[in-house]
Amino acid sequence: MQLFLLLCLVLLSPQGASLHRHHPREMKKRVEDLHVGATVAPSSRRDFTFDLYRALASAAPSQNIFFSPVSISMSLAMLSLGAGSSTKMQILEGLGLNLQKSSEEELHRGFQQLLQELNQPRDGFQLSLGNALFTDLVVDLQDTFVSAMKTLYLADTFPTNFRDSAGAMKQINDYVAKQTKGKIVDLLKNLDSNAVVIMVNYIFFKAKWETSFNHKGTQEQDFYVTSETVVRVPMMSREDHYHYLLDRNLSCRVVGVPYQGNATALFILPSEGKMQQVENGLSEKTLRKWLKMFKKRQLELYLPKFSIEGSYQLEKVLPNLGIRNVFTSHADLSGISNHSNIQVSEMVHKAVVEVDESGTRAAAATGTIFTFRCLGEMWRTFNLAVTIHQ
Global pTM value: 0.86
The pLDDT of residue 30 is above 70: no
Residue pLDDT, tens place only, 114-144: 899 888 877 778 889 999 999 998 889 999 9
Residue 253 φ then ψ, to 5°: -115, 150
Q: Structural domains in the chain? A: 48-208+306-372 (3.30.497.10), 219-304 (2.30.39.10)
The pLDDT of residue 15 is above 80: no
Q: What is the DSSP string of 279-321?
A: HHH--HHHHHHHHHH-EEEEEEEEEE-EEEEEEEEGGGTGGGG
Angstrom CA distances, 297 to 20, 161, 257, stand at 12, 58, 12
Angstrom CA distances, 73 to 51, 95, 260, 349, stand at 12, 7, 27, 11
Residue pLDDT, tens place only, 338-350: 888 899 999 999 9
Of 61 and 258, the structure prediction assigns the larger pLDDT to 258
The DSSP element (H or E) to which 277 belongs, if any, is: helix 275-281
Residue pLDDT, tens place only, 45-56: 468 988 999 899
The pLDDT of residue 387 is above 70: no
Burial string for 306-319 (b: 16+ CB within 10 Å, else e) reads bebebebebbebbb
What does DSSP say about strands 306-313 and 342-355: parallel, antiparallel, or unpaired? antiparallel
**For the chain, percent of residues with pLDDT exceeding 90:** 55
The pLDDT of residue 38 is above 50: no
CA-nearest of 344, 10, 335, 360 to 202 is 10
pLDDT score recorded for residue 229: 74
pLDDT band at 5 (very low <50, low <70, confident <90, very high): low
> Distance (Å, rounded) from C-alpha 306 to C-alpha 42?
35
Please report, to the nearest 10 degrees, the dihedral formed by the alpha carbons of residues 298, 300, 305, 307 taken in order. -50
Residue pLDDT, tens place only, 307-340: 889 999 999 999 999 999 999 999 999 999 988 8
> Distance (Å, rounded) from C-alpha 295 to C-alpha 243?
5
pLDDT score recorded for residue 12: 32
Per-chain mean pLDDT for the chain: 83
Residue pLDDT, tens place only, 237-273: 999 999 999 999 999 999 999 999 878 888 888 887 7
Residue pLDDT, tens place only, 214-244: 999 999 988 766 567 788 889 999 999 999 9
The distance in angstroms from the start CA to the end CA of the chain is: 70
The angle at the Cα of 90, spanning 10 to 65, to the nearest 5 degrees, equals 35
pLDDT score recorded for residue 285: 87
Cβ pair 364, 379 in contact under 8 A? no
CA-nearest of 263, 256, 366, 376 to 318 is 366
In sign, the C-alpha dihedral spanning 145, 150, 154, 155 is positive
